[in-house]
Amino acid sequence: MPLEETSPAEKHRSGKARYVAVLEVTLVLSGTIAVVGLVANSAWAGRQLAELGNPFLEYLALMSVPFALLVVTRRSLEEYGVSADRFRENVHGAFVCMVPYAAAHALLLMVSGRPALAAAVSAGLAMGVLMISARLLPSLEPAPRLLCAGLPVLILSHDAIPGAILAAGFHILFLGPGEEILFRGYIQSRLNRAFGRPWSHRGVEVGWGLPITAALFGAFHVLNLPELYAGQVELQWGGGVAAAAWGLFFGYLREWSGSVVAPALVHGVPQGIASAVLG
């Protein structure tokens, strides 16, 4: 049976929808960065860093701007992955991926003193973690729960416990969800809506939204926002390349799970445990 041809009018509408989506994503991302900058330079932010040691307010703004947009425009939170659908499956899938993710970052400690090499190794490890996770996720093979057992065991000093709790809470509840709601929730979903998801890998449908979002995620890290907000331009090209590679992994996990819950957990929990334990 011959394939139906797309009419010129349909092609025009499709092309226009893509331009509108890219423009909207660019404006929202730029606006979010600007809002976070205003928060970062406020008196509250300075007090928070002095007392709590982590930029809670900045990451609260990072997730609040795209979330507010979805609410104001009455878009489906489920479509944008900001929901608890398949929550238990998301959590299980996140734990499956945390094992290779945490192992990869442990290996990165071996080259942490050499930025260029660390960026290249990190990007390569990200692709390895993506391939391993893509094989593990369809069967949801049991994941070791010992990954989360190290936090209470390795904190020995009572004086360190409050700081450890704050560090873990920041990464798990603010950093992971903040970046994932913005990038894999709003941006990737918005681009998927415009570009579609015409390809499939191991039953997971993907489209141009995934690599474009990963590239934007890398650019976001190239900007080195803390220094930029402080009035200094110090671009981190190596970190941006590595972040883009990890963005492909987080984006794939978002498409598999249908939600930002799984990528937010993988993004935040290992970093939270490492920050709590290592300081």
**For the chain, how many residues are written?**
279
In whole angstroms, give the CA distance from residue 268 to residue 107: 18
Range of the domain at 227: 11-278
In whole angstroms, give the CA distance from residue 166 to residue 54: 8
Q: How confident is the model at residue 159 (pLDDT cuts 50, 70, 90)?
A: low
Query: What are the residues whose beta carbons fall under 8 Å from the beta carbon of 264, sequence distance 6 or more?
Result: 176, 177, 180, 181
For residues 136-140, give the mean pLDDT.
Answer: 79
Q: Does a structural domain hold residue 30?
A: yes
**Is 235's pLDDT higher than 70?**
yes
Q: Does a structural domain hold residue 183?
A: yes
The per-residue pLDDT for 141 is 54
Q: What are the tens digits of pLDDT across the range 30-69?
A: 999 999 999 999 999 989 988 888 999 999 999 999 999 9
Q: Does a structural domain hold residue 4?
A: no
Q: Does a structural domain hold residue 5?
A: no
Burial class (CB in 10 A: 0-12, 13-18, 19+), 156: exposed
Phi, psi angles (nearest 5°) of residue 115: -55, -45
Higher pLDDT pick, 9 / 23: 23
Q: Which amino acid appears at position 90 of this protein?
A: N
Domains of the chain: total = 1
Q: How confident is the model at residue 11 (pLDDT cuts 50, 70, 90)?
A: low
Phi, psi angles (nearest 5°) of residue 213: -65, -40
Q: Does a structural domain hold residue 169?
A: yes
DSSP classification of residue 159: G
In terms of average pLDDT, the best of 108-112, 142-146, 223-227 is: 223-227
Q: Which amino acid appears at position 78 of this protein?
A: E
The per-residue pLDDT for 109 is 85
Contact between 178 and 63 (Cβ < 8 Å): yes
In whole angstroms, give the CA distance from residue 201 to residue 145: 27
Bridge partners of 279, per DSSP, are none
Query: What are the residues whose beta carbons fall under 8 Å from the beta carbon of 139, sequence distance 6 or more?
Result: none
